[in-house]
Structure 1
Amino acid sequence: MDTLFYDGQCPLCAREIATLKKLETGNLIFADVHAQQNRKGLLPEREALLRRLHLLTGEGDWVIGLHATVRAWSHTRFGFIFKPLLWPMVYPLASRVYARWADRRYQRKYECGVCGVES
């Protein structure tokens, strides 16, 4: 079983997780980053978990970012739609788009001095 760590305080993330929960086949565990306690340092730093999507595989390996998205969706019957994002000709652009989007989302939510939101 894989465990997907997500930002439960992000409305866009929450919508995607709700969709994944409806569609997944029962082999994916969902873990809100804000509800986790990092006992014995077993998890990456909270900031890292909030900056990029993280998935812990059943084998104990971490999958991060776009790879985590594709792996999470592979637990649904629509996983084939996301697999091309990892193709060699597509991945460089897709990973840059994902990284830029993730950085902007994090900055707006957690680094905004006007918002005053604490992580």
Structure 2
Amino acid sequence: MDRLGRMKNEGLELIDIHAMEPDPDLPAPDSLLRVLHLRTSGGLFLKGVDANVAAWSFTRIGPLFKWMQWPIIAPVFNIFYTRWARWRYDRLYSQTCSARET
């Protein structure tokens, strides 16, 4: 997210999930932490790989990410992304929850 934040143009707004005000129009904060979400200008939410490809399209290297949505590659890449996102969430948030409970 840091790299995306440095490279993005003004067409993309990044929002810190931890600093957000509660909003009934948004997915639950836990859901937002589990996978990347992107709300399009039309209000549609993209998640996971599709959200990543869309977010990086607001940078000069955006075209390099389009291959992740090719029909033959997308299902495989979605599997890897889902596993990576689960690992990332567990690494960052499961330990934090366990530490708070003790």
TM-score exceeds 0.5:
yes
What residue is the counterpart of 1:45 in the other structure? 28
Deviations 1:40-91 (A, max 9, x none): x111001100000000111101000110000000011111110000001110
Equivalent residue letter for 1:27: G
Q: Match of 1:10?
A: none
Task: Please give the per-residue CA displacement for 1:83-106, whole angstroms capped at 9, x wherever unaligned.
Answer: 000001110111100000000111
Which SS does the other structure have where 1:59 is aligned? coil
Residue of structure 1 equivalent to 2:2: 18
Question: How many equivalent pairs are there?
Answer: 101
Instruction: From the two aligned structures, give the one with the greater strand fraction.
Output: 1
Q: 2:89 aligns with which of 106, 109, 114?
A: 106
1:34 to 7, 14, 18: 18
Q: CA deviation at 1:22?
A: 2.4
Q: Give the aligned CA root-mean-square deviation in angstroms.
A: 1.8
User: Counterpart in 1 of 2:54?
Assistant: 71
Measure how far apart 1:112 and its partner are: 2.8
Identity of aligned residues (%): 38
Paired amino acid for 2:47: I
Give the aligned residue type for 1:101. W
Counterpart contact for 1:110–1:117, Cα < 8 Å: no
Name stretches of at least 5 consecutive residues in structure 1 with no aligned partner: 1-16
Which is richer in helix?
2
> How far apart are 1:18 and its partner, in Å?
2.4
**Structure 1 residue 113 displacement after superposition:** 7.2
Aligned partner letter, 2:18: H
Aligned residue in 2 for 1:83 = 66
* 1:24 CA drift (Å): 1.7
Query: Are residues 89 and 34 of structure 1, via their aligned partners in 2, closer, same or farther at CA, if it must alter by over 3 Å?
Result: same
Distance 1:117-1:54 versus aligned 2 partners, 3 A rule:
farther
Structure 2 unaligned regions, length at least 5: none
